[in-house]
A and B are shown apart, each in its own frame.
Chain A
Amino acid sequence: MKYITGFFQFWYDFIVGDDWTVALGVVLALTTTAVLVRSGVNAWWLLPLVVIVLLGLSVQRVAATKK
C-alpha cells in the first residue's frame, strides 16, 4: 500500500506541483475554450487571460504569506 500511495504521490508532485489551483484552472480553461469553439466562438484569447490570472493569484498568495 505504501508503494502505491508513494507512486501516486510522486506523479501528483511531478505534474501538479506546489499549487493545485493552477492545474485545475488550466483544465477548466481548456474545457471552456473547447465548449466555446463548439458553439462557434474562436476563443483564442481565453487561455492567455486565464494564465495571467492563475499566475498572478498563485505568486500573490505566496508573497502574502511570506511577510
Chain B
Amino acid sequence: MSNTAAFFLVAATFLASAVEMVEALTIVLAVGVIRGWRSALIGVAAATVALAIVVAALGPALTLIPIGVLRLVVGALLLIFGVQWLRKAILRASGYKALHDEEATYREEREAAEQAGTVQRAGMDWYSFTLAFKGVFLEGLEVAFIMLTFGSTQGSIPLAAAGALAALVLVGVVGVAVHAPLSRVPENTMKFAVGIMLTTFGIFWGAEGAGVAWPGADFAILLILAFVIVVSFGLVAFLRRMKEQQTLRSTPAVRGTGD
C-alpha cells in the first residue's frame, strides 16, 4: 500500500469515527445525566460488544473474497455511501439543510429522557439502556462499515481499526473530561471531508473493480480527490446562488409610498 493510500485510510476512518462518536456521546450524556449512568453505560458496553461481533464476523469473511470482486462491490457501496454523505454536506453548507447542532440534539434528548416514564426491571432502566445501545450501535455501525470496507480493500483492516480506535479514545477522553456535548467539534466540516474521501475511494476502487486501469495508477487518487473537491464546492456555490434568488423572489418588493 502506498503512503498516500495509507494516509487516506487512517484519515477517513479517524474522521468518520470521530463524528459518529461525537453524536453517540451526545445521546449517552443526555440519558446518563438525566436518568443515571448505570443502565446507560451497560447499554454502551452491550453495543460495543455487538459491534465487535459484527467486525469479527465480517472482517475475516471479507478477506476471503477475491480482490477484484471486493473492490467492485466495496467501491459501489462506498460510492453510494459517499455520495449520500456528500449530498447532505453540500445541502448543509448551502443552507438547504439545517447544520448538525449537538447542543440542540442534547437539549432534545434531555427533554425526551425527562418526560419518558421509568420502567425498572431486573434493576435496569430500560429506556436508558435502549437509547444508549441504539445510539452507540447505529453510529458505530457506520464506522464499522467504513473501517471494514476501506481496510479490506487496502489489505489492512488493522490500520483502518487504528484510525477508528484513535478517534474513539480521543472523543471518549475529551467527553469524560468536559462532561458536555462536544459542540465545538467542527462536525459539519468533518462530515464534508468524510463524504469527499468516501466518494474519491468509491470512484477509484469501483472503477478498478470494473477492470479500469487508472492513468497514473495510485497517483490518480489525488486527482480524483481534487476533482471531487472542486465539484463539491462548485455545487455549494451554485446552490447558495439559487437560495439567494429564491429568497429574493419570495421577499415582497418594498414599494415607496410616495409623497
A residues with a Cβ closer than 8 A to B are 14-19, 22-23, 26-27, 30, 33-34, 37-38, 42-44, 46-48, 51-52, 54-56, 58-60, 62-63, 66-67
Contact = CB atoms under 8 A, between A and B. Distances in A.
22 contacts: A15-B80, A18-B88, A22-B80, A27-B76, A30-B209, A33-B210, A37-B212, A38-B211, A43-B207, A44-B214, A51-B83, A51-B199, A55-B83, A55-B86, A55-B87, A55-B232, A60-B239, A62-B87, A62-B91, A63-B94, A63-B96, A63-B242
B89 to A, nearest CB: 10
Interface residues of B, number: 44
B203 A47 contact: yes
Nearest to B203: A47
A62 B76 CA distance: 23
Contacts of A22: 80, 83-84, 87
Interface stretch (B43-51, B116-124, B223-231): B223-231
Contacts of A33: 206-207, 210-212
Interface of A is mostly: helix
B80 A63 contact: no
A42 B213 contact: yes
Nearest to A65: B96
Contacts of B90: 55, 59
Nearest to B246: A67
Nearest to A43: B212
A46 B207 CA distance: 9
A60 B212 CA distance: 30
A51 B232 CA distance: 11
A52 B231 contact: yes
A15 B212 contact: no
